[in-house]
Amino acid sequence: MNGFSAARDTFARLGPTNGLLYLVACALATASRGRCGLFKYHFVAQPVPRERLVGLPRASSVRFRTVSSDDAVVPRFPRPPAVIAARFADGATCLVAEKDGELAAFIWLKLESYDEDEVRCRYVLAPDVAWDFDAWIAPRFRMGRMFVQLWDAANELLRAHGRRWSASRISAFNSVSLASHARFGTVRLMSAVFVVLGPFQLSLLSRPPYLHCSVRNGQPTLAFHAPAPP
C-alpha cells in the first residue's frame, strides 16, 4: 500500500479529525525517535452487570485466577518486565486466563487511583468505580469467546469489591478497541489530547481543568465517577 492509499485508509477508518491527528502523531514520533508524541484518548465507563455475559460451559479447560508478581506465568507476559513490576508495585490486580496451561489472556484492574503509563496523568476513582487497562488476548484465542469470558471473570471480581462501573481510556486511533467496548454498553465520559515534547507536556481536556501544562513530573488529575442516569 503506497503512502496515499494508506492515508486514505486512515481517514476512512478514523474520520478526518482523528485521521489527521494520527498522521501527525506518527510523524512526530518518527522524527523525534520516540521522545515526542501526540495521544488522543476517549475515556469511557462500562457497567458491571449483575449477571454473567455468557453462560458457563458444562466443561471448560479455561482457568481464571489473580496472580502475584512471583507467579510462574508472569515472565510469559508480552510486556517489558519493568512495566509489569511497576504495576504490581502500584497495587494493580492482574487477572489471568489459562487454557490447558497456556497463557490465553489477562487484564489489569485498579480500585482507587491509576497513574497513566503513556503520558503524565493521574486518574482518581469514586468508591463504586474501578479502572481497567491492558486487556490482552493471545492471538489464537481472539476469534473465540475468550474476550467475553475474560470480562465475565473481571466483572465477578469487581462485583466482589462493590464496583458498579469500570472506567478506562481507549486510544481514539484504535477503532477496533472502541467497537469492542461499545458492545458492553460503554458510556463516553470525556476526551483528551496530550502533546509530549520531551519533558514538556500539554494536556487538552474536554472537562475541567480543560488545559494543563507541565514540565517533567507535573501532571493533571482527573476524577472519575459513575455516569449520571440517562
The residue to which cell 481517514 is assigned:
11
Q: Give the span between the Cα atoms of 130 and 5, in whole angstroms.
A: 40
Domain assignment of residue 182, yes or no: yes
Identify the pLDDT of residue 114.
Answer: 96
Domain assignment of residue 178, yes or no: yes
The residue to which cell 487454557 is assigned:
99
Other Cβ atoms within 10 Å of 43 Cβ, number: 21
CATH code for the domain of 212:
3.40.630.30
Cell of 42: 476517549
Contact 167, 43 (CB under 8 A): yes
Identify the pLDDT of residue 143.
Answer: 86
The alpha carbons of the chain give a radius of gyration, in whole angstroms, of 19
Domain assignment of residue 119, yes or no: yes
Identify the pLDDT of residue 212.
Answer: 97
Domain assignment of residue 8, yes or no: no
Identify the pLDDT of residue 10.
Answer: 85
Phi, psi of 22 (to 5 degrees): -65, -45
pLDDT score of 9 more than 90: no
* Interval 49-70 mean pLDDT: 80
pLDDT band at 56 (very low <50, low <70, confident <90, very high): low
pLDDT score of 180 more than 80: no
Nearest to 149 by CA among 105, 94, 103, 101: 105
Domain assignment of residue 53, yes or no: yes
Q: Give the span between the Cα atoms of 50 and 165, in whole angstroms.
A: 11
Q: Which of 19-23, 91-95, 174-178 has the highest mean pLDDT?
A: 91-95
**Residue type at position 15:** G
pLDDT score of 59 more than 70: no
Could you give the number of structural domains in the chain?
1
* Interval 97-126 mean pLDDT: 95
Domain assignment of residue 24, yes or no: no
pLDDT band at 50 (very low <50, low <70, confident <90, very high): confident
pLDDT band at 57 (very low <50, low <70, confident <90, very high): low
Domain assignment of residue 205, yes or no: yes
Phi, psi of 131 (to 5 degrees): -120, 130
* Interval 141-157 mean pLDDT: 91
- For residue 36, the SS3 value is strand
Domain assignment of residue 22, yes or no: no
Cell of 197: 515534547
By residue range, what is the domain housing residue 65? Answer: 35-224
Q: What DSSP string runs through 177-201? A: HHHHHHTTT-EEEEEEEEEEETTEE
Q: Give the span between the Cα atoms of 230 and 228, in whole angstroms.
A: 6
Cell of 33: 525517535
